[in-house]
């Protein structure tokens, strides 16, 4: 198991902790992952919610300050760690959050839920920050690379997300998910080959979606991935920033409880779906109106269709698992207890644990 390099930074293990919005992965989880030798990621989506900066009427102003505060928390836990952020392109304050992330000291910026075509321009003053798009196809990677060439920049890594297994918002049409046609590792290898052939560069490609245990990690690496991104596995940990009842929902859920929804963002998402009706009814009964404008495109903001996603995610993060939205990947049902980040690393990278024990002996 070789160390993993992304841009200027090297970490002990080839693992990125996936971003989980509305403060599921905030300063605590990201800091502990970084301290254990991975790359810790703070999710920008809904970062102002449940923060001391948000008064209920200043969402856009509170977002950048909340982001910088979570970065400070993470670096307090792992001063020398590699800590980054995940900023969805679909967010209304995408540009402001990218800028705040750079100001807060993020070493990596990951962007999905849209093509981050302007990201090199937004970070031109910070060439040390590693830039990483999330894609599900070779075509998307090609579009990004060609656009970024104008800024004399290429991705420092590319994340290939499997829509058939990943949690949260998915970069694929609903009707194409679960058909069995998607070849994640074929896409991983094609993107690696593209950068080698067209640019003479070995750009790391990271597999995301459905990675749960050591066997999954080893399979991904054997199939050509340079590292893995894991999100759902880290929810049921003491260090995760979510409420205890949110974590317990993972432990309690069954495989059949996990499915697809249509997000107000216009994207399909994977979540625990047994309370979908309660989520919608909550917003209708309480006549919830859009007060944040968090998404560039939102059916709830525009027509009142579906539900307010940032409030649904926020309710769940605070512990309301009855009317809150709980995003998760297909393997969330495998969580059987509340563990720690360190215990997960010990299991995933057992060879390193054995080596340390032999060295101590």
Q: How much is the pLDDT for 290?
A: 86
Both 118 and 217 in one domain: the answer is yes
Both 17 and 41 in one domain: the answer is yes
- What is the model's pTM? 0.95
Q: Residue 240 pLDDT > 90, yes or no?
A: yes
CB–CB of 48/66 below 8 Å? yes
Q: Residue 110 pLDDT > 90, yes or no?
A: yes
CB–CB of 42/19 below 8 Å? yes
The average pLDDT across 16-34 equals: 97
The average pLDDT across 24-49 equals: 97
Both 62 and 185 in one domain: the answer is yes
Predicted confidence band of residue 166 (pLDDT cuts 50, 70, 90): very high
Predicted confidence band of residue 291 (pLDDT cuts 50, 70, 90): confident
Instruction: State how many domains the chain has.
Output: 2
Q: How much is the pLDDT for 358?
A: 58
Is 323 domain-assigned?
A: no
For residue 182 the two structure tokens come to 């998607």
Is 325 domain-assigned?
A: no
Both 67 and 95 in one domain: the answer is yes
* Helix axes of 138-148 and 184-199: crossing angle, nearest 10 degrees: 30
138-149 as b/e, with b when 16 or more CB fall inside 10 Å?
bebbbebbebbe
Degrees, nearest 5: CA angle 99-100-101: 90
Both 28 and 98 in one domain: the answer is yes
Q: Residue 199 pLDDT > 80, yes or no?
A: yes
Q: Single out the residue of 77, 40, 34, 72 nearest to residue 53, CA to CA.
A: 72
Is 328 domain-assigned?
A: no
Q: What is the pLDDT of residues 200-236, one digit of tens each?
A: 999 999 999 999 999 999 999 999 999 999 999 999 9
Predicted confidence band of residue 66 (pLDDT cuts 50, 70, 90): very high
Percent of the chain scoring above 90 in pLDDT: 89
Which one has a higher pLDDT value, 241 or 356?
241
Both 272 and 124 in one domain: the answer is no
Both 57 and 33 in one domain: the answer is yes
For residue 52 the two structure tokens come to 């001391």
Non-local CB neighbours of 263 within 8 Å, separated by 6+ positions? 169, 269, 306, 309
Q: How much is the pLDDT for 287?
A: 82
Both 129 and 251 in one domain: the answer is no
What's the CATH code of the domain at 109? 3.20.20.70
Q: Residue 237 pLDDT > 80, yes or no?
A: yes
Q: What is the DSSP letter of 25?
A: S
Is 229 domain-assigned?
A: yes
Q: Residue 155 in 3-state DSSP?
A: coil
The average pLDDT across 146-150 equals: 96
Is 223 domain-assigned?
A: yes
Percent of the chain scoring above 70 in pLDDT: 97
Residue 235: give the domain boundaries.
4-242+337-360
Both 195 and 96 in one domain: the answer is yes
Q: What is the pLDDT of residues 114-140, one digit of tens each?
A: 999 999 999 999 999 999 999 999 999
Q: How much is the pLDDT for 356?
A: 58
| d(C-alpha 39, C-alpha 265), whole Å | 27
Show the 3-state SS of 109-139: EEECCCCCCCHHHHCCCCCCCEEEEEECCHH
Q: Residue 354 pLDDT > 60, yes or no?
A: no
Both 147 and 268 in one domain: the answer is no
Which range among 54-68, 149-163, 296-310 shows the weakest confidence by mean pLDDT? 296-310
Both 55 and 85 in one domain: the answer is yes
The average pLDDT across 29-58 equals: 97
Is 46 domain-assigned?
A: yes
Q: How much is the pLDDT for 353?
A: 54
Mean pLDDT in the chain? 95
Non-local CB neighbours of 201 within 8 Å, separated by 6+ positions? 154, 195
Both 44 and 58 in one domain: the answer is yes
Is 331 domain-assigned?
A: no
Predicted confidence band of residue 268 (pLDDT cuts 50, 70, 90): very high
Is 23 domain-assigned?
A: yes
């Amino acid at each position: 198991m070789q160390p993993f390099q992304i841009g200027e930074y090297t970490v002990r293990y080839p693992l990125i902790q996936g971003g989980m919005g509305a403060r599921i992965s905030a300063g605590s989880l990201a800091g502990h992952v970084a301290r254990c030798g991975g790359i810790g990621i703070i999710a920008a989506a809904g970062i102002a919610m449940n923060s001391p900066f948000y008064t209920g009427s200043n969402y856009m102003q509170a977002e950048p300050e909340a982001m910088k505060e979570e970065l400070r928390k993470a670096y307090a836990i792992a001063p020398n760690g590699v800590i980054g952020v995940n900023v969805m392109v679909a967010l209304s304050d995408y540009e402001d959050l990218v800028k705040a992330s750079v100001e807060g000291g993020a070493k990596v910026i990951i962007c999905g839920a849209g093509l981050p075509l302007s990201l090199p321009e937004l970070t031109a003053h910070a060439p040390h920050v590693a830039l990483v798009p999330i894609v599900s196809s070779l075509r998307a990677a090609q579009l990004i690379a060609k656009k970024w060439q104008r800024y004399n920049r290429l991705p420092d890594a590319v994340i290939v997300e499997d829509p058939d297994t990943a949690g949260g918002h998915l970069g694929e049409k609903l009707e194409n998910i679960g058909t069995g046609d998607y070849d994640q590792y074929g896409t991983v290898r094609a993107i690696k080959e593209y950068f080698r052939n067209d640019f003479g560069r070995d750009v790391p490609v990271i597999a995301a979606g459905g990675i749960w245990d050591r066997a999954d990690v080893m399979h991904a690496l054997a199939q050509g991935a340079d590292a893995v991104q894991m999100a759902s596995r880290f929810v049921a940990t003491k260090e995760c920033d979510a409420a205890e009842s949110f974590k317990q929902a993972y432990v309690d859920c069954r495989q059949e409880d996990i499915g697809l929804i249509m997000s107000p963002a216009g994207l399909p998402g994977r979540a625990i779906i047994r309370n979908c009706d309660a989520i919608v009814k909550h917003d209708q009964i309480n006549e919830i109106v859009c007060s944040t404008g968090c998404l560039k495109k939102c059916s709830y903001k525009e027509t009142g269709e579906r539900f307010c996603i940032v409030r649904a995610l926020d309710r769940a993060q605070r512990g309301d698992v009855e009317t809150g939205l709980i995003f998760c990947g297909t393997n969330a049902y495998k969580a059987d207890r509340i563990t720690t980040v360190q215990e997960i690393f010990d299991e995933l990278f057992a060879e390193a644990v054995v080596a340390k024990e032999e060295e101590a002996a």
